[in-house]
Structure 1
Amino acid sequence: MKTIIPFSHQLLKEIVLKGDTVIDATCGNGNDTLFLSKLVGQHGKVYGFDIQAAAIVNTRKKIETEDYLKNVTLIHDGHEAIDKYIAVNEEVAGAIFNLGYLPKGDHAVVTKPVSTIQAVERILKRLTLGGRIVLVVYHGHEGGTEEKNHLLTFCENLDQNYYQVLQYQFINQKNQPPFILAVERIK
């Protein structure tokens, strides 16, 4: 079985095509941004969001070393601000969130349920048919359980006529292991 990050990438590899527009809603250290940049190719677009300047710097360094900066727009702002940067009529094929805190960063700065759900709602308005939003939910930190519970409730209440939602997790791991919520637009 694939572990969490490889499976989150597989979910996007299955549906994102060269030339598509995608979102990395939490740039972190740039790993997902680079993955998405390679996935969409030189004619695609990647919008990368993070509220921490260190994450934007880390991501820029990561993609510069790989020469993938040309199709990436890095945005030092919260993912809930998507409407300020991406037109409502711009279609998005996929998005990924790694929730929690920046690895090797300030653990007091964490994603919040309200802003995360606002971002998901705004991406859903732009999501192509067959498009996916992948949320990697790290919840072993202060406030993490609250965000996890809000996201589960939000996803459970998405209209099954328009979206299907997958939860993927390993249930025999210790210390609140991360899990995936994947939302796919079906209508």
Structure 2
Amino acid sequence: MLQTALHFSHTLLKEVIAEGDSVVDATMGNGNDTAFLAQLVGSTGNVYAFDVQEQAVINTAKKLADVNLSEHVQLFHQGHETIDTAIDKDILIKAAIFNLGYLPKSDKTIITTPNTTKQALDALLPRLTTKGRIVLVVYYGHAGGEAELTLVQDYCQTLPQESYSVLTYQFINQRNNPPILFCIEKK
């Protein structure tokens, strides 16, 4: 059975993340990816998770506490465009995940934007380790979503193939704008 974009994103991350790695959840949302990443990096790794919404930080902190994974996770109540200044420049990142769009079951007017996403990608790429991956799951069926999808597609298509491999994964026969997954791997 084909995996959903969400499940495939986790498969792509599991393939490269090991205990002790440093990783980023660029859009922590309800904390599902943050907890997943914390399990993968273990007690010697670090997770840096970002979100502009206070409720996302609260939900994530609770989820991490409930499963005893709060240690080695730093929650930032700020947008992913601040990755460049929030994470020490000498820290190498093994993987990052973005779920672009809005926080499910919350204010649908608070969305990720092409500008902030580009800033985050620009900050992450130079810090990405060899064989490291950035996974972007783009939900685009809302106002502003198409512009962000275009930014991600254009950004990924212009990455030099000598340095990066880029994969896209999507279901093309589903209704209601199913998410599109992009995976950038540094060679």
TM over 0.5: yes
> Matched residues, percent identical?
51
Deviation at residue 129 of structure 1 after TM alignment: 0.1
Determine the structure 2 residue equivalent to 1:38: 39
Deviation at residue 3 of structure 1 after TM alignment: 1.1
Alignment of 1:49-60 (within 5 A): 49-60=50-61
Q: Is the 8 A contact 2:50 2:77 kept in 1?
A: yes
Q: Which stretches of structure 1, 4 residues or more, deviate above 3 A after TM superposition?
A: none
Determine the structure 1 residue equivalent to 2:153: 152
Residue identity opposite 2:89 in structure 1: V
Residue identity opposite 1:9 in structure 2: H
Determine the structure 2 residue equivalent to 1:140: 141
Determine the structure 2 residue equivalent to 1:78: 79
Determine the structure 1 residue equivalent to 2:120: 119
Tell me the distance in 2 between the aligned counterparts of 1:97 and 1:130. 18
Tell me the distance in 2 between the aligned counterparts of 1:71 and 1:34. 11
Matched, 1:175 2:173: no
Structure 1 stretches lacking a partner, 5+ long: none
- How many residue pairs get aligned? The number is 186
Structure 2 stretches lacking a partner, 5+ long: none
Normalization by structure 1: what TM-score?
Answer: 0.98
Determine the structure 2 residue equivalent to 1:106: 107
Tell me the distance in 1 between the aligned counterparts of 2:140 and 2:71. 33
Q: What secondary structure is seen at the aligned counterpart in 1 of 2:10?
A: helix
Q: Deviations over 1:61-94 (max 9, x none)?
A: 1111001000100000110101222112210000
RMSD: 0.6
Q: Is the 8 A contact 1:88 1:125 kept in 2?
A: no
Tell me the distance in 2 between the aligned counterparts of 1:5 and 1:82. 23
Tell me the distance in 2 between the aligned counterparts of 1:80 and 1:164. 23
Q: Is the 8 A contact 2:84 2:120 kept in 1?
A: no
Determine the structure 2 residue equivalent to 1:27: 28
Q: Deviations over 1:23-53 (max 9, x none)?
A: 0000000000000000000000000000010
Residue identity opposite 1:172 in structure 2: N
Tell me the distance in 1 between the aligned counterparts of 2:103 and 2:143. 14
Tell me the distance in 2 between the aligned counterparts of 1:127 and 1:155. 15
Residue identity opposite 1:84 in structure 2: T
Tell me the distance in 2 between the aligned counterparts of 1:106 and 1:154. 27
Tell me the distance in 2 between the aligned counterparts of 1:173 and 1:132. 27
